[in-house]
Chains A and B, each alone.
Chain A
Amino acid sequence: MVRYVANKFFYMLLSLLILISATFFLMKAIPGDPFQAEKKVSAEMKARLMEQYGLDKPLYVQYFKYLGDITTGDFGISMKKLNQDVSKIISDTFQTSLKLGLVAIVIAVVVGVLLGMLAALYHRKLIDNVAMILAVLGMAVPSFVFASLLQYYLAEKAGWFNVIGFDKPLDYVLPVIALSAQPIAFIARLTRSSMLEVLHADYIKTAKAKGLNWFTIMFKHVIRNGILPVVTYVGPMTANIITGSVVIEQIFGIGGIGKVFVESITNRDYTLIMGVTIFYGVILMVARFITDIAYVMIDPRIKLSGGKEG
């Protein structure tokens, strides 16, 4: 087990290094620089700026300097949001994304599991059909379409919510619905199928035959076993929701990290692009790492040795 974890950890660090290097060189390969504007900055002024930000040095020097800086935790200052610390921009905006993301995750798990359970218990009945139609819709409609529809009908037309902004608790409703729709659909389907499997298992029949009451059967046997697949899905989903709210943040004007990421690329804000990429990379890899370990703990069939696990 320890060897397995160490192995996974090593690969995680290696992936991170590859990510950093690839992003660094690809980013520098895009035409343009952070000091471009419609009204051109004079050649001398640009040279002065390039020197001040160390962009006049050869690429490999910049690369190793950057690697050196980040090992000491120094992500530099933004080149477009003048003099602002990259780490501070990330921590400020990530808090916003995290607040939105966590609420969405909680809603996704609760609603998804409930919907899936109901569908399984009322298999092939009206509730099941309705729940599954909702699930298919949720999977099929892209979140940005859903977000725009919600914004138009519930905020602009009906006036129940603010169209943009993220201050009051009520402002969470629309972005959270838009963000959690897809995971809800996925979790509902997952829960339904695994619950159905469990409901038909022999040990449930035995339990029924023993004359156990319905609640005991449900809570002690069905839900506990039926929910396992959801647990393994929660890890990757968390990472996806927290990092994947780029579009939703744009639509509702939420100052999250996704919005910053998009802007940083347009601005060629090198330090900020690197900072956010590394941050995203770490979150995704850690989530993946935890999921890998969780798999092993839950399902002993996954091999521990040889690193051939899926």
Chain B
Amino acid sequence: MNKKRLLSMLALILIVSTVLAACGSNNNREGGASNGAGKPAKAKEQVLHINMSAEPPTFDPGLAQDSQANTALKLMYEGLVRLDDTGKEVPAAAESWEISPDGLQYIFKLRKDAVWSNGDPVTANDFVFAWQRVLDPTTTPAPPYAYQLGYIKNANAYNAKEITDFSQVGIKATDDHTLEVTLENPTPYFLGLTSFYTYFPVHASVKNNAAWATDYKSMITNGAFNLTNWTTGQKLEYTKNDKYWDKDNIKLSKIESSLVTSGAAELSSYKSGQLDYAGAPNGEIPSDSIPTMKKNLPNEFAVKGIASTYFYEFNVTAKPFDNVKIRKAFSMAISRQDLVDKVTLGGQIPAFGFVAPGIKGVKDEFRTEYKDNFFQENYEEAKKLLAEGMAEEGYTTLPEVTLIYNSSESHKKVALAIADMWKNNLGVEVKTENLEWGVFLENRQNLNYQIARAGWTADFNDPMSFVDMWKTGAGNNDSGFSNAEYDQLVKDAMTSQDNAVRMEKMAAAEKILIQDEQVLMPLYYYTNVSLTKGNVKGISVNYSGAIDFSRAYIE
């Protein structure tokens, strides 16, 4: 009984004290509210509010490999060149450069007024250090994007431990402000590549500190902004770097990013005025909401084509898709226009090729110079081809077909719509199956599927980024496709110095891939759908949809 009394007294004390505590926090809340009431003054402040649907897995440019890190690192670091809003390479850490006539040697002159956030000058040795670190086979964890530096002479050999002497790799600092780079093959898009994060410089002091990029206090950066706050899973805050050489052109004083995964919450937050920017590439506007946003906020809503393709790939080693006629029949029996108009709703462009618009050709865009008229949608023709294909294989009924896609509301809608079109236009019942991301990738990469959803974004502004992946045995070739003629065309394009010849070869390769072999059925070219508040200007989005907030400002 004594214990019982003690406990109940404790409970009573607990309750009384919590009542008091609750009163206390009520006062705080009122305080917060009155602070909030002073908001109008904030409008003129140069603070940009954005959202990222996931926290960047790393702030180490050498280890990064995703679009969230891309957005963050573009603010924090600066490469040799920068891409302006037209996609042209403009001087950044390098103030000028020379390219040898054979296209193999690049000499970068670094600017002398560029400094790190700790005051040290940015030198050519910082680039050598960063690139060597990415290529070094003993770097832990291994940088998965080391192949991005593979255009440099002997870089791949050094990374694969075939050579151990780094001086044989085509990277040299001839003095503090001169960087000499020698390439394996003439690579017209190499200059643009140096604006990519794997090519960013890293301060040499990080050498023996594996955890340097896990704490914003120990990061030494050379870009327009410094990371000044980081609450895991919740918030990132970037503050203008007053030591940045081009600080006069940086107008924002701060960029704050929330980290909410849900597209609905992001949109809701934007509508309530908490965010200045919502949508791709770092977030997503739910496709259901796109038509309303387009109608209600026409001046804030924007759709921009990006160099990305959404497609379904066939496992060409599995029945029934080892037959090219059956592959063609499936590809022809749908309406891509209906798909983008009624299902995806984001102004996507129906795709009949694999190389996306926005990629440079000889003079104009590749897609303008080489049209994607590889095939046409034709339901009668599709049925005929299916019958012929089935006859060739000796089928009386088509084997059961399953389409796999990774779990996501938008992929599901597309899959169901396409399956429905196949049923109506081709008379084929296709099962659709959604798989959790990791399981999905495992199945697709091990050719354990018949038709699978896929998407591809350009790594660099050249059709090579698209055609290279379908070579025999290439890492991302998940279709089982292997074609000697195709491989030869890609190889010829890679070693040629003449840009017109390169484009010709790559166009011929794409024709084999889509028109002759139909290894995949393109569905649409992606678009970035976004909302930007009317008073926010200067956000730049490049050909691939990567976004640069560094030169943004608030009017």
With A32-B439, A110-B18, A224-B8 already in contact, the answer to whether A52 and B260 are too (CB < 8 A) is no
* Interface: A162 (CB within 8 A): yes
The interface stretch among A11-19, A125-133, A151-159, A279-287 is: A151-159
Indicate whether A35 sits within 8 Å of B7 (C-beta atoms), given known contacts A106-B21, A167-B235, A170-B33: no
Which residue of the partner chain, among B36, B258, B259, B476, contacts A168 with CB atoms under 8 Å? Answer: B36
Knowing A45-B142, A169-B32, say if A231 contacts B7 (CB, 8 Å): yes
Neighbouring A residues of B142 by C-beta, 8 Å: 45, 48-49, 52
Question: Is B337 close to A, CB under 8 A?
Answer: no
Minimal Cβ-Cβ distance residue in A for B269: A163
Cross-chain contact B233 with A255 (CB below 8 angstroms)? yes
A170 and B436 alpha carbons, distance in the complex (Å) = 36
Are the C-beta atoms of A164 and B274 separated by less than 8 Å?
yes
A80 at the interface (CB under 8 A from B): yes
Out of B8, B14, B232, name the residue touching A93 (CB < 8 Å).
B232
A41 to B21, CA, bound (A): 53
Check A255 against B476 for contact (C-beta < 8 Å).
Answer: no
A53: B residues at CB distance < 8 A: 141
- Number of A interface residues in the complex (CB < 8 A): 73
In the assembled complex, A61 has its CB within 8 A of some CB on chain B: no
Which of B55-63, B100-108, B378-386 is near enough to bind chain A?
Answer: B55-63
8 Å CB contacts to B: which residues of A20-74? 30-33, 35-45, 48-49, 52-53
Complex contact B12–A32 (CB within 8 A): no
Chain B proximity of A242: nearest CB distance (Å): 16
| Interface membership of A142, Cβ < 8 A | no
- Give Cα A25 to B141, complex, Å: 24
Let me know if B65 is at the binding interface, CB within 8 A.
yes
- Report A100-125 CB contacts with B as 1/0, cut-off 8 Å: 00010011011001000000000000
- Choose the segment among B206-214, B292-300, B410-418, B494-502 that binds chain A (4+ C-beta atoms closer than 8 Å): B206-214
Q: Which residues of B contact A163 (CB under 8 A)?
A: 265, 268-269, 272, 274
- Asked whether A30 and B214 contact (CB < 8 A) given A48-B137, A164-B260, the answer is no
Q: Which of B22-30, B318-326, B367-375, B485-493 contacts A (4 or more CB under 8 A)?
A: B22-30
Q: Are A82 and B438 in contact (CB under 8 A)?
A: no
Q: Contacts A31-B443, A159-B272, A256-B233 given; indicate if A173 touches B22 (C-beta within 8 A).
A: no
- CB of B141 within 8 A of CB of A298, answer no
Cα(A37)–Cα(B232), bound, Å: 22
Asked whether A155 and B272 contact (CB < 8 A) given A37-B65, A82-B60, A170-B36, the answer is yes
A263 within 8 A of B: yes
Q: Write out the residue numbers on chain B whose beta carbons fall within 8 Å of the beta carbon of A84.
A: 211, 214
Q: Is the interface of A mostly helix, strand, loop or mixed?
A: helix
Q: Which of B5, B9, B231, B438 contacts A255, CB < 8 Å?
A: B231
From A83, A103, A266, B438 is in contact (CB under 8 Å) with A266
Which B422-443 residues sit within 8 Å CB-CB of chain A? 436-439, 441-443
Task: Confirm or deny: B4 has a beta carbon within 8 angstroms of a beta carbon on chain A.
Answer: yes
Q: Which residues of B contact A106 (CB under 8 A)?
A: 18, 21-22
Cross-chain contact B265 with A82 (CB below 8 angstroms) = no
Contacts A109-B15, A250-B261, A298-B4; is A80 near B57 (CB within 8 Å)? Answer: yes
Q: Is B160 in contact with chain A by the CB < 8 A criterion? A: yes
With CB as the reference atom, state the residue of chain B lying closest to A263.
Answer: B54
Min CB gap A239→B, angstroms? 17
B35 to chain A, nearest CB (A): 8
Interface residues of A in 124-182 (CB under 8 A from B): 151-152, 155-156, 159, 162-170, 172-173
User: Chain B nearest CB: distance from A131 CB in Å?
Assistant: 17
Q: How far is it, in angstroms, between the C-alpha of A113 and the C-alpha of B22 when the chains are bound? A: 14
The range of chain B's interface size is 35 or more
Instruction: Let me know if A43 and B475 touch, CB within 8 A.
Output: yes
Which B residue's beta carbon lies closest to that of A225?
Answer: B8
Q: Which of A83, A113, A169 contacts B28 (CB 8 A)?
A: A169
Contact B146 A251 (CB under 8 A): no
* Distance from A253 Cβ to chain B, minimum over Cβ atoms (Å): 3
Cα of A167 to Cα of B439 in the assembled complex, Å: 37
CA distance A163 to B146 in the complex (A): 40
How many Å lie between the Cα of A43 and that of B18 in the bound state? 58
Does B455 belong to the interface (CB within 8 Å)?
Answer: yes
Q: Which residues from B are CB-within-8-Å of A253?
A: 51, 234, 258-262, 265
Task: List residues 58-86 of chain B with CB under 8 A from any CB of chain A.
Answer: 58, 60, 63, 65-66
- Return the CB mask of B206-237 against A: 1 if under 8 Å, else 0: 00001101100000000000000001111100
Contact B213 A93 (CB under 8 A): no
A228 part of interface (Cβ distance < 8 Å): yes
Q: How far is the CB of B420 from chain A (nearest CB, A)?
A: 26
B-side contacts of A260, CB under 8 Å: 232-233
* Chain B residues near A92 (CB-CB < 8 A): 231-232
Given contacts A41-B144, A169-B25, 13 further A-B contacts (CB under 8 A): A36-B437, A36-B441, A38-B441, A80-B57, A83-B213, A92-B232, A164-B260, A170-B29, A231-B7, A252-B260, A252-B265, A253-B51, A297-B4
Q: Can you identify 20 A-B contacts, CB atoms within 8 angstroms?
A: A30-B439, A31-B438, A31-B439, A36-B438, A49-B142, A83-B210, A92-B232, A106-B18, A110-B19, A164-B266, A169-B32, A228-B11, A231-B7, A250-B261, A253-B258, A253-B262, A253-B265, A256-B233, A263-B54, A268-B438
Q: Which residues of B contact A (CB under 8 A)?
A: 3-5, 7-9, 11-12, 14-15, 18-19, 21-22, 25, 28-29, 31-33, 35-36, 51, 54-55, 57-58, 60, 63, 65-66, 137, 140-142, 144, 146-147, 160, 210-211, 213-214, 231-235, 258-262, 265-266, 268-269, 271-274, 436-439, 441-443, 445, 455, 459, 475-476, 478
A residues contacting B by CB (< 8 A) are: 30-33, 35-45, 48-49, 52-53, 80-85, 89, 92-93, 96, 103, 106-107, 109-110, 113, 151-152, 155-156, 159, 162-170, 172-173, 223-225, 227-228, 230-231, 250-256, 259-260, 263, 266, 268, 294, 297-298
10 shortest A-B CB distances, which residue pairs? A255-B234, A32-B438, A255-B233, A253-B260, A163-B269, A31-B442, A82-B58, A170-B32, A169-B28, A48-B142
